[in-house]
Amino acid sequence: MSKIFVLGAGAMAESFIKGVLQKHVVSPSDITVINRNRPERLNELRRDYGIRPAESIADAEDSEVIIVSVKPYDVRDALKELSPFLHGQTLISFAAGIPIAFMDRVVEGRAQVIRTMPNVPVAVLEGAIAMAVSERVGADQLERAKQLLRQIGTVVELDEELMDAATAFSGSGPGFVSYFLEAMEQAAVELGFSATMARQLLIQTVVGTAKVLEEWRLSPTDLRERVTSPNGTTHAGLAVLNESGMREAILEALTQAAKRSREMGEEYTSE
Ligand SMILES: NC(=O)C1=CN([C@@H]2O[C@H](COP(=O)(O)OP(=O)(O)OC[C@H]3O[C@@H](n4cnc5c(N)ncnc54)[C@H](OP(=O)(O)O)[C@@H]3O)[C@@H](O)[C@H]2O)C=CC1
Ligand SMILES: O=C(O)[C@@H]1CCC=N1
């Protein structure tokens, strides 16, 4: 597999590194990482994963794949610094909201830009990765990028106009699911559990639910109906959730998250 240059050394960059190294398709010495001003963070990643801290951004020149994992508001500056060292490499962006056309413009067409929206579970090879490409990306480079990303999760290619929605539900998804679990854990404590005991049962409940949905190819509606006995406990709980307007709240939360992704795209790319 190719040499990879990772621009950014934060949470998402680390999840990516942790994931790809587990598959042994890239060796740690083939991953070079750069950040802006925290050398101690690069040393931490070297200690934990064996990656190579970059000496300078010029190291990108020797890599075939560049991962852009800086915050959306830093993408413009980071790509400007990177641009002189581009000569047709594949550039895979993780940045929420930032359109392909903008990145193409900043790098003046010197890289093949792929916009993705991964999520933190790539670290455990269970990522959900939405991907959009423009026609400028060659078939071979696209296939190699997909091969790389498929190592760490499920890759779904879609039209770029759906990327803001994907950002809302799969990119931010682990945050929303964790929010629900926070509330479940709090409720379990109110009902007499210790947080630790509750967490064991809750996490296994989520993992088990996801596996049943996947392996039995059930829809969430099918599974909810199987679990809900007439006038039983699930029925009693769901009645409360329905009355509370939870469904509407979820729709509004995802709508606002997608809107924020679009807004960031506009805010951080305007001249
Ligand atoms: N966190 C998540 O769950 C997800 C995040 N994303 C996307 O991934 C991207 C990264 O997010 P996240 O990891 O959370 O962010 P972090 O804030 O954790 O990390 C950002 C990194 O970018 C570095 N950086 C900033 N500017 C530059 C620059 N000019 N050159 C080199 N490095 C730079 C920072 O370095 P320093 O610390 O030295 O300033 C830092 O290491 C974002 O665009 C986000 O939208 C996508 C999906 C999920
Ligand atoms: O909250 C954010 O903006 C990033 C993008 C998706 C998940 N985290």
Question: Is pLDDT at 1 greater than 70 in this prediction?
Answer: no
Give the CA distances from residue 234 to residues 192, 238, 241, in Å, rounded to whole numbers and listed in that order. 19, 6, 10
Nearest bound ligand to the CA of residue 38: 1
Q: Domain containing 198 — which CATH number?
A: 1.10.3730.10
The pLDDT of residue 271 is: 75
> What integer pLDDT is reported at residue 2 of this predicted model?
82
Of the three residues 111, 140, 166, the one that is the final residue of a domain is: 166
- Which residue type, as a one-letter code, is found at position 209? T
Q: Has residue 217 got a pLDDT over 90?
A: yes
**Counting beta carbons within 10 angstroms of the beta carbon of residue 238, is it exposed (0 to 12), middle (13 to 18) or buried (19 or more)?**
middle
φ/ψ of 70, rounded to 5, equals: -105, 165
What is the pLDDT at residue 62? 96
The pLDDT tens digits of the residues spanning 8-29 come to 999 999 999 999 999 998 999 9
Distance CA 45, CA 50 (A): 7
Q: Given a cut of 80, is residue 53 above it in pLDDT?
A: yes
| pLDDT interval class at 33 (50, 70, 90) | very high
Question: What's the complex ipTM?
Answer: 0.98
Q: Look at the chain and report how many structural domains it folds into.
A: 2
CATH number at residue 161: 3.40.50.720
Tell me, yes or no, whether 269 lies in a domain.
no
pLDDT exceeds 80 at position 263: yes
Per the CB < 8 A criterion, the answer to whether 69 and 16 are in contact is yes
Find where tokens 């900043």 sit: 106
User: With left for phi above 0 and alpha for psi between -120 and 50, is residue 93 left, alpha or beta?
Assistant: beta
Q: Kindly state whether residue 198 falls inside one of the protein's structural domains.
A: yes
Quick check: 127 and 47 in contact, CB under 8 A? no
Q: Which residues line ligand 1 (CB under 6 A)?
A: 7-13, 34-38, 41, 69-72, 74, 77-78, 81, 94-96, 117-120, 171
Domain of 178 in residue numbering reads as 173-263
Residues 25 and 112 in one domain: yes
Q: 161 with 199, same domain?
A: no
CA of 92 to the centre of ligand 2 (A): 16
Per DSSP, the chain holds a count of helices (H) and strands (E) of: 11, 8
CA dist 81 to 5, 60, 75, Å? 14, 11, 10
CB proximity list for 212: less than 8 A, separation 6 or greater: 218, 223
Q: Could you tell me if 158 and 183 lie in one domain?
A: no
Mean pLDDT of the chain: 97
List C-alpha distances in Å: 109 to 100, 161, 185, 218. 11, 21, 49, 44
Same domain, 71 and 98: yes
Nearest-CA residue for atom 7 of ligand 2: 172
Are both 69 and 162 inside the same structural domain?
A: yes
67 part of a folded domain: yes
